[in-house]
Amino acid sequence: ANGYYYSRWAKCIHSSHDLSDMVFVDNYIFNKDVYVQFNSTVGEYVGYTEHGVYNAKNWNNIPGQLQQERAEVERYCKHNAEIRQTAIADKS
């Protein structure tokens, strides 16, 4: 429990059944505070601390990394949401 706490939480948010409003959010957390975040609606990293602003600026200048994060809506979010919706529909 002593020391530093680092985590990364990725989440997908949507409210429609057709998944047209799907948003991918990737949070980078240090000691329970989000210091940098990627949001697919914004399309780039945003820093919330001095260190986060520094990282966001650097990561936003790596085209491949931004492209990969932007693609997570399709690859990760929509893919898994479709699997879950199919599983739920099969049970009814």
- pLDDT above 80: residue 86: no
Residue 11 belongs to domain spanning: 6-87
Share of the chain above pLDDT 90, in %: 68
What does 57-81 look like in DSSP terms, one character per residue?
A: HHHTT-HHHHHHHHHHIIIIIIHHH
**Would you state the pLDDT for residue 92?**
58
* Residue range 65-82: mean pLDDT, rounded: 91
In a domain, 60, yes or no: yes
Q: Is pTM beyond 0.75 here?
A: yes
The band of 1, judged by pLDDT with boundaries at 50, 70 and 90, is low
Task: Write down the mean pLDDT value for the chain.
Answer: 90
- pLDDT above 80: residue 43: yes
In a domain, 74, yes or no: yes
Q: How many domains does the chain have?
A: 1
CATH number at residue 35: 3.10.320.10
**Would you state the pLDDT for residue 59?**
97
User: Can you tell me whether residue 85 is helix, strand or coil?
Assistant: helix
In a domain, 63, yes or no: yes
